[in-house]
């Protein structure tokens, strides 16, 4: 059962701390992607289109980068905040992608923060849509853009939230 407003706190590409609760009152589309995943990188352009189309309508698009647990040492292949810059060409003066990118990789895979809360599929990429009360209303592996748009359209302007 999904709980209302399960929070997590992660770092962005500049090493600044952010919390999911910053987005209370907005519809949130979370993309869980792995740094090594080609389909995840391909989805970044789709997400930028979604961000462009919905940012003025109360929807926040967010990528959370992580890596799967490996048999290597705890530090092996864990993303660092600066990888968000490389992930979607954010280091360019005119970046291709402007939506937030956070990193869930500074701890060993067993203690990852956001992945166990919101990713029931265990697949990458996984997309999760939260309503304005941060309740999960849609979750899927892959990136079916038309379905995501349909779900976002239903939620835009909705006021049914579980905000305190």
* Ranges of H-type helices in 55-144: 83-87, 115-118
pTM to 2 decimal places? 0.81
- Angstrom distance (rounded) from CA 156 to CA 27: 7
Q: Which two tokens stand for residue 157?
A: 């302007």
In the predicted model, is pLDDT for residue 124 greater than 70? yes
pLDDT tens, residue by residue, 27-48: 999 998 887 788 888 888 888 8
Q: Which domains does the chain have, with CATH numbers?
A: 10-16+24-155 (3.40.30.10)
Which residues are paired to 127 by β-bridges? 31, 140
- Angstrom distance (rounded) from CA 146 to CA 152: 10
- Angstrom distance (rounded) from CA 104 to CA 66: 5
Which residues are paired to 62 by β-bridges? 30
The predicted structure's pLDDT at residue 60: 96
In the predicted model, is pLDDT for residue 72 greater than 60? no
């Amino acid at each position: 059962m999904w709980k209302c407003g399960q929070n997590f706190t992660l770092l962005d590409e500049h090493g600044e701390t952010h919390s999911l609760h910053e987005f209370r009152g907005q519809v949130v589309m979370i993309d869980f992607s792995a740094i090594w995943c080609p389909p995840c990188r391909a989805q970044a352009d789709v997400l930028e289109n979604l961000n462009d189309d919905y940012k003025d309508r109360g929807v926040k698009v967010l990528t959370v980068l992580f890596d799967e647990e490996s048999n290597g040492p705890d530090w092996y292949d864990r993303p660092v905040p600066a990888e968000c810059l490389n992930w979607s060409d954010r280091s360019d003066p005119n970046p291709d992608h402007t939506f937030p990118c956070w990193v869930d990789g500074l701890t060993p895979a067993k203690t990852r923060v956001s992945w166990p809360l919101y990713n029931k599929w265990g697949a990458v990429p996984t997309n999760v849509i939260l309503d304005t009360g941060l309740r999960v209303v849609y979750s899927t592996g892959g990136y079916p853009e038309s379905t995501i748009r349909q779900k976002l359209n239903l939620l835009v302007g909705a006021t049914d939230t579980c905000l305190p």
